[in-house]
Amino acid sequence: GAGVSQSPSNKVTEKGKDVELRCDPISGHTALYWYRQRLGQGLEFLIYFQGNSAPDKSGLPSDRFSAERTGESVSTLTIQRTQQEDSAVYLCASSLVWARGTQYFGPGTRLLVL
C-alpha cells in the first residue's frame, strides 16, 4: 500500500519568503507528526495531530511556523518569512495510534533558505 508521501521533495527559497510543505499520511492513520532535522542534528519534534483534537503546538520553534490538518488526511506545514536557520529536512510521519503506534515516515522535504 501507499506510504507517507511529502511534497515537494526539495525546496529552495529566498530569505523572507513563505513556504508550504505538504504531507499525505497513510490512509486510516489518526496521528500525524512533523519533525525537523537540521544538518548534523537529530530529529526535532515540531507538532502532532491526533484525530480531531487540537494539535499540540508546543514544539513549534516560533510563531512563523504553523500547521494544519483536515480531518485525518493531508497536513500542511507553513513557514512564514523564512530565515536561513529554517534550512533543514522536514519529516512527516503518521501512525495508527498516538505515540504507542509505530510511526511511518515520509521521505522528507529538503528546505534550503538562501
What residue ranges bind another protein (CB under 8 A)?
4, 33, 35, 41-45, 48, 56, 91, 93, 98-100, 102-108
Q: Which is nearer to another protein, 14 or 39 (CB)?
A: 39
Q: Which is nearer to another protein, 10 or 78 (CB)?
A: 10
Q: Which is nearer to another protein, 70 or 100 (CB)?
A: 100
Block residue for cell numbers 525546496: 11
CA quadruple 85, 89, 90, 95: dihedral, nearest 10: -140
Q: Report whether 112 contacts 55 (CB < 8 A).
A: no
